[in-house]
Amino acid sequence: MSGPATRPDAPHPATPDGPMSGPAAHTDAPHTAAPDGLYEVTEATARVARTAPLLAALGRTGRSRLLAAMADALWADRERLAATADEETALGVPVLLAEIARTADQLRLFGRVLDEGSYLGVAVDTRAEDGTAFPPVRRWLVPLGPVAVFGASNFPFAYGVAGGDTASALAAGCPVVAKEHPSHPRTCALVLAALRRAATGAGAPADVVTMVAGFRAGIDLVRSPQLTAVGFTGSVGGGRALFDLCAARPSPIPFYGELGSVNPAVVLPAAARDRPAALAGVLADSVLTRGGQVCTKAGLLFLPEGADGDAVLEALSARVAEAAWPVLLNPSIRAAYVLGTAERAALPGVRVLTRHRPAGTDPADPVPPVLLTTGAATLREDPGSVLTEECFGPCALVVRYRDTEDLTAALTALAPSLVCALHADDTDADTARALLPLLAAGAGRVVWNDATCGLRVGWATQHGGGYPASTDSATTSVGAAAIGRWLRPVAYQGVPAGFLPDELRTADGNDGAGPHTVPFRLDGVPLPGPGRTNR
C-alpha cells in the first residue's frame, strides 16, 4: 500500500500456491525513466476527467471490447510480468502466473457483465397502483466519474493496477488513477503500459488508466476534486486514514476499503472426531497459503477441548512445524510480523505450539510460521485484545472451547470478518444450524468444510464484511457485483424515448419506444433481455 498503511493485503484466488521464491529485492528503487501514464496528481486527475465522457460514450459493447483487449495484453506479456513481480515480491513465478490468469479472467468477467446488462438496474413505471397511466419514469445506473485505486502488496496483479477495482470501475465507465505500490513499482509500470497499449488498440483513450507514485501523492489524490470515489486494499490504519480524508473533503466521496480481518474457522466436535488429519490439512492451508499473506487467512481456529480436538491440534502443529519458511513481502510487513507474533506469545494464557529458531534480522530472511493456543475464556474476558486482531503472515491462534455456549460467547466477542469457515459433520447438524446465523452476521462469506482462502471470482462472489474487514458491508470488492460501487442512480420522468439511451428505450406501451436491450422491470414485473427467457 501507499500512504500511511503498513500492511496491505488482498483476496486469495482459488489457484495453486506453489513454492515461495526469494529473497525478495524489497527495494523502492526509482524508475530509470518515468513510465508512460505516470503523472503528477494534478495532471493524472485532469487527464482521466477529460477521458470520462469518452469512456462512457464507448457504451457497454465498446467497454467490453476494451476489457477483453486488456486481458489479452496482460496474458501476452505474462512471462515478463511474472518474472518482474517475483523479483519484487518473492511470491514465486508459478503463483504469479496463476494470478495473472485470474486477473485476465476477471477483466473478461466484467465484459460479460456489460454484455448481459442487468447491472444497470433498469426499471420503468408507467401506471399507478390503481392502473392509472402516467408519463413513464425510467431509472437506471450511470458511472460516478473518475476514481482512484490503491492496490495491494501481496497481489500485484489481481489487486493491483489491473485488479478487480480497476476492472469493475472501467466496466462501469469510470476512468482510473492507480496509486503505484512501493513494494512492486516496476510491476505496476509494466501493467500500466499493457493496459494503455490495449486501450489505444481497442479505440479508447490511453488515459482511461493513469498512475501516480509516492506517499504524498496518495494523500493528494484522495483530496482531488476530480475524483468521485476511492477503492483501497490494505491495512486498517492506512485505510482508516484515507477514509477519514475522503469524509473530510468539502464534497465527501465514497471510500471502498478492504482492511483487516481475522476470519475464524470453527471445527465442531463430530468433525474433529471423524477426520482429524483431513481437517489439519485444510486448516494448515487456510493459514499458510502464500505465506499467510492473504486477507482471507484463517487467523483464529476454534477446536473443541478433549481428545478429538487434541488429535486435530497435534496433526495441525506437525504441518505448521514442517512448513517452509516464507519470505515476506517487504520490510515493514516482516517487522510487524516478528513483533506481532512475539507480542501475542507473551500474553497471559497463550502458549506457543511450534518451536523454531528465531527469525533472522535481514529484511530478506524468511520467517517461521507460528501456531499459538489459548482458551475461549481469554477472548471473552478481553474482547479488545490483540489476539482478536489480524496478524499478517503465517501465524494463527488456536482457541479451545468447552461446549457450544463457550464457543458462541467467544465468537460473539469478535469483530466482523471477510470470511469464516464452519467444519461440521451430520451429527453436528443442530449446532451448525444454530451457529450459521451468528457466523453470517459477522462475515461476508461463510464457507462449509473448506479453507477460508478459496475465493472464487464470479457472479455470486461476495468479498466484504463489517468494519474493520471493510468500510462498506453492503458492497463487494470482488466479483460481478463489484461494479455497483462505481455507479449512481438517475431517473428520467416523462422524457420521450428518442432522447434516451438505448437501454432505456423500452417498449412500455405508452410512447412507442423500441424493444429493450437489457433485462429490466416494467411496472414491477421482471422482463428478460433480448434472446433470454424468464426461466
Residues 178 and 318 grouped into a single domain: no
Exposed/middle/buried for residue 39 (C-beta within 10 Å: 0-12, 13-18, 19+): buried
Residue 244 C-alpha cell reads as 477519514
What is the pTM for the complete model shown? 0.91
Residues 241 and 300 grouped into a single domain: no
* Structural domain boundaries enclosing 416: 264-448
Of 263, 467, 190, nearest in space to 475 by CA: 467
Round to whole Å and give the CA distance between 179 and 196.
Answer: 15
In this structure, is residue 10 part of a structural domain?
no
In this structure, is residue 174 part of a structural domain?
yes
Residue ranges of the chain whose pLDDT lies below 50: 1-29, 509-512, 533-535
Confidence (pLDDT) at 124: 94
Residue 182 C-alpha cell reads as 512501493
Between helix 59-76 and helix 78-89 the angle, nearest 10°, is 70
pLDDT digits (tens, 9 = 90+) for 153-190: 999 999 999 999 999 999 999 999 999 999 999 999 99
Residues 191 and 335 grouped into a single domain: no
Exposed/middle/buried for residue 128 (C-beta within 10 Å: 0-12, 13-18, 19+): exposed
Residues 240 and 342 grouped into a single domain: no
In this structure, is residue 532 part of a structural domain?
no
Contact partners, residue 380, CB within 8 Å, separation at least 6: 409, 410, 413
Confidence (pLDDT) at 360: 75
In this structure, is residue 27 part of a structural domain?
no
Confidence (pLDDT) at 279: 98
Residues 275 and 255 grouped into a single domain: no
Round to whole Å and give the CA distance between 91 and 156.
Answer: 10
Residues 282 and 201 grouped into a single domain: no
Residues 74 and 215 grouped into a single domain: yes
Contact partners, residue 108, CB within 8 Å, separation at least 6: 67, 68, 71
C-beta atoms surrounding 19 within 10 Å: 12
Q: What is the largest CA-CA distance in the chain?
A: 79
* 108, amino acid identity: R
C-beta atoms surrounding 340 within 10 Å: 19
At residue 309, φ and ψ (nearest 5 deg) are -65, -35
Confidence (pLDDT) at 498: 87
At residue 469, φ and ψ (nearest 5 deg) are -60, -40
In this structure, is residue 531 part of a structural domain?
no
Residues 339 and 304 grouped into a single domain: yes
Confidence (pLDDT) at 35: 78
Give me the CATH number covering residue 336. Answer: 3.40.309.10
Residues 93 and 229 grouped into a single domain: yes
Confidence (pLDDT) at 361: 79
Q: What are residue 374's DSSP bridge partners?
A: 399
Contact partners, residue 204, CB within 8 Å, separation at least 6: 54, 55, 58, 62, 66
Round to whole Å and give the CA distance between 262 and 469.
Answer: 8
Give the end-to-end CA distance of the chain in Å, rounded to a whole number.
Answer: 45
For 37-80, the DSSP string reads TB--HHHHHHHHHHHHHHHHHTHHHHHHHHHHHHHHHHHHTHHH
Confidence (pLDDT) at 11: 32
Of 493, 510, 513, nearest in space to 502 by CA: 513
Between helix 307-322 and helix 276-288 the angle, nearest 10°, is 40
Confidence (pLDDT) at 25: 42
Confidence (pLDDT) at 31: 53
For 212-254, the DSSP string reads E-SHHHHHHHHH-TT--EEEEES-HHHHHHHHHHHHHSSS---
Confidence (pLDDT) at 296: 96
Round to whole Å and give the CA distance between 31 and 464.
Answer: 34
For 177-212, the DSSP string reads EEEPPTTSHHHHHHHHHHHHHHHHHTTS-GGGEEEE
The answer to whether 73 and 198 have CB atoms below 8 angstroms apart is yes
Catalytic residue (choose from 258, 395, 420, 503): 258
In this structure, is residue 455 part of a structural domain?
no
The answer to whether 386 and 413 have CB atoms below 8 angstroms apart is no
Give me the CATH number covering residue 107. Answer: 3.40.605.10
Residues 223 and 335 grouped into a single domain: no
The answer to whether 261 and 471 have CB atoms below 8 angstroms apart is no
Please report, rounded to a whole number, the percentage of residues in the chain having pLDDT higher than 70: 90
User: Across the chain, what does the average pLDDT equal?
Assistant: 90
Round to whole Å and give the CA distance between 178 and 70.
Answer: 15
Residues 302 and 204 grouped into a single domain: no
In this structure, is residue 1 part of a structural domain?
no
In this structure, is residue 507 part of a structural domain?
no
Strand arrangement, sheet containing 395-401: 351-352, 370-375, 395-401, 300-304, 264-267, 417-423, 443-448
258 tagged catalytic: yes
Catalytic residue (choose from 174, 295, 395, 420): 295
Domain count, the chain: 2
Residues 244 and 278 grouped into a single domain: no
405 tagged catalytic: no
Among 440, 456, 484, which residue terminates a domain? 484
For residue 284, give the 3-state DSSP assignment: helix
pLDDT digits (tens, 9 = 90+) for 32-41: 557 788 999 9
